[in-house]
């Protein structure tokens, strides 16, 4: 394995992104793998799309639900299957930390030994990191991941987002948004610095490009103020000033800005005219202490009030836009807070990871509305972990 990893690392310095699939397949052959195919998840995280390359066998796209490849993606685990007589197939998740990029299909002449299985996991980990690095230089992976054309607003919003998932032994943060190919004014952001985790969920008024431009200014102002180490009310004030200075009074954004002390579980937040955070504790919905929301960002005249509560290990904090709970079925039934909490609770009971919970939740919201969204829907879930809970989360 050492030779294959060293060779792949050497090749990576001058590797064209278009050649990554072929190069990975060539190096895997040196480890006894007959064929290697890399699949990336599409923007909706509903389909796995094969990355083409010279010498890479052609494959069809695969649904994440109901396939071996999808099982590896959903459960973040290696899946073994028999391909044909005299052939064995492994499906290995492509991971950047806890962020799921897709899966690798590895076809071998026989089931691998434990040592080879370990080596292949390491090899696929390196390939995943090369995908992330090369994505910054090319449109190859972005083009592959889109099953239909993104609107200009959606293109801008996806470029504005951080990775959908991030995890350490103490917390997992994961987000989702729909409609993936036509998202407008909804967005989110987060950062983890030392023992502090900062989060933002924002809903800019309106739709399409104007809402996206407003959200871009708001997120830029948020990052600027956060990186200047301001407190939450001051960060909100900076965003408010930026919006008010660039847009008319009829344009504003609702938002929740939150800050978690990772060591103690102390959670503070500012609510600017937005749905209040929810906490799911085990299988129960816990309402945080009542804290009257301030005016939306762009309309504030004074600094907003800061709210506070204390989390317990394993708590999941939900920050979301109104498009989640106000998603309406064809017969007029709202998705609602309780249905949201029940879905998260059931996922906790089933042992689903936070990223898989959010992926399934967004599909469930679409299904509730018969795939016809009336409004953008975005959510960020923060799970606070300690000790054994953290290790179990990262092993799922």
Q: Which residues, at least 6 apart from 139, have a Cβ–Cβ distance to it below 8 Å?
A: none
- Tokens representing 373 are 């969204």
Q: The tokens 């919006």 sit on which residue?
A: 243
Q: With H, G, I as helix, E, B as strand and everything else as coil, classify residue 315.
A: coil
Task: Report strand pairing: 186-193 vs 171-178.
Answer: unpaired
Contact between 385 and 171 under an 8 Å Cβ cutoff? The reply is yes
Torsional sign, CA 192, 185, 41, 151: negative
Average pLDDT of the chain to the nearest whole number? 90
Least-confidence region, from 119-123, 158-162, 222-226, 391-395: 391-395
C-beta separation of 254 from 270 below 8 A: no
Cis peptide before 179 (omega within 30 of 0): yes
- Structure tokens given for 116: 């080879």
Rounded (5°) CA angle 353-102-172:
30
Residue 37 structure tokens: 């195919």
pLDDT band per the 50, 70, 90 thresholds, residue 194: very high
395: pLDDT strictly greater than 50: no
Locate 144 and state its tokens: 């592959």
Instruction: Output the six-digit token pair for 124.
Output: 């696929």
pLDDT of residue 84: 67
Q: Is the pTM of this model over 0.75?
A: yes
**Could you report the per-residue pLDDT of 72-121, keeping only the tens digit for each?**
999 999 998 876 667 899 999 999 999 999 999 999 998 888 888 999 99
What CA–CA distance (Å, rounded) separates 27 from 359? 32
- CA triplet 160, 166, 170: central angle to 5 degrees? 140
pLDDT at 290: 86
Phi, psi of 334 (to 5 degrees): -70, 150
Residue scoring higher pLDDT (374 or 104) = 104
Res. 388: pLDDT tops 80: no
User: Where residue 140 falls among pLDDT bands split at 50, 70, 90?
Assistant: very high
Q: What is the pLDDT of residues 13-30, one digit of tens each?
A: 888 999 999 999 999 999
pLDDT of residue 285: 85
Q: Provide mean pLDDT across the span 29-33.
A: 91
Each residue's pLDDT tens digit, 256-310? 999 999 999 999 999 999 999 999 988 888 888 888 899 999 999 899 999 999 9
Whether the Cβ atoms of residue 276 and residue 291 lie closer than 8 Å to each other: yes
Q: Output the pLDDT for position 394.
A: 43
What confidence score (pLDDT) does residue 113 get?
87
Cα-flanking dihedrals φ and ψ of residue 292, to 5°?
-60, 130
User: From the DSSP assignment, how many helices (H) and strands (E) are in the chain?
Assistant: 12, 17
For 187, 207, 221, 226, 332, the CA distances from 212, given in Å and listed in that order, are: 9, 8, 14, 21, 28
Backbone angles phi, psi at 279, to 5 degrees: -125, 125
Going by pLDDT thresholds of 50, 70 and 90, the confidence category of residue 393 is very low
Q: What is the pLDDT at residue 396?
A: 44
**358-368: pLDDT as tens digits:** 999 988 888 88
Question: What is the predicted pLDDT for the residue at 365?
Answer: 87
Q: What is the pLDDT of residue 308?
A: 95
Q: According to the model, what pLDDT value does residue 338 have?
A: 84
Q: Is 293 in contact with 271 (CB distance < 8 Å)?
A: yes
C-alpha 61/C-alpha 381 separation (Å) is 29
Q: DSSP per residue over 207-226, as a string?
A: SHHHHHHHHHHHHHHHHHHH
With beta carbons less than 8 A apart as the criterion, state whether 215 and 187 touch. yes
Q: Is the pLDDT of residue 391 over 60?
A: no
């Amino acid at each position: 394995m050492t030779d294959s990893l060293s060779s792949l690392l050497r090749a990576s310095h001058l590797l064209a992104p278009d050649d990554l699939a072929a190069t990975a397949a060539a190096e895997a052959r040196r480890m006894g793998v007959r064929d290697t195919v890399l699949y990336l998840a599409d923007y909706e995280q509903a389909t796995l799309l094969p990355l083409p390359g010279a010498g890479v066998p052609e494959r069809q796209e695969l649904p994440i639900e109901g396939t071996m490849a999808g099982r590896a993606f959903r459960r973040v685990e290696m899946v073994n299957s028999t391909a044909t007589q005299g052939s064995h197939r492994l499906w290995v998740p492509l991971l950047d930390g806890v962020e799921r990029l897709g899966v690798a299909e590895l076809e071998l002449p026989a089931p691998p030994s434990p040592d080879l299985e370990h080596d292949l996991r390491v090899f696929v980990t390196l390939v995943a990191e090369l995908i992330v690095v090369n994505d910054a230089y090319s449109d190859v992976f972005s083009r592959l991941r889109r099953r239909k054309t993104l609107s200009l607003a959606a293109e801008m919003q996806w470029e504005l987002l951080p990775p959908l998932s991030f995890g350490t032994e103490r917390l997992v943060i994961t987000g989702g948004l729909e409609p993936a190919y036509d998202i407008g004014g909804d967005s989110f952001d987060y950062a983890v610095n030392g023992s502090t985790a900062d989060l933002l969920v924002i809903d800019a008024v309106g739709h399409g490009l104007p809402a996206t431009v407003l959200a871009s200014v708001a997120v830029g102002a948020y990052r600027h103020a956060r990186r200047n180490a301001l407190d939450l009310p001051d960060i909100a004030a900076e965003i408010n000033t930026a919006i008010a200075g660039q847009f008319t009074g009829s344009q504003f954004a609702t938002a929740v800005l939150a800050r978690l002390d990772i060591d103690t579980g102390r959670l503070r937040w500012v609510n600017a005219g937005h749905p209040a955070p929810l906490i799911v504790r085990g299988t129960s919905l816990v309402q945080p202490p009542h804290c009257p929301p301030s005016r939306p960002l762009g309309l504030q005249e004074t600094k907003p009030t800061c709210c506070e509560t204390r989390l317990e290990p394993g708590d999941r904090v939900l920050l979301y836009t109104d498009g989640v709970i106000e998603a309406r079925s064809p017969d007029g039934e709202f998705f609602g807070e309780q249905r949201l909490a029940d879905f998260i609770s059931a996922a906790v009971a089933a042992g689903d990871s936070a990223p898989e919970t959010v992926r399934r939740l967004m599909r469930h919201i679409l299904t509730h509305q018969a795939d016809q969204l009336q409004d953008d829907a975005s959510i960020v879930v923060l799970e606070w972990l300690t000790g054994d809970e953290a290790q179990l989360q990262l092993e799922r």
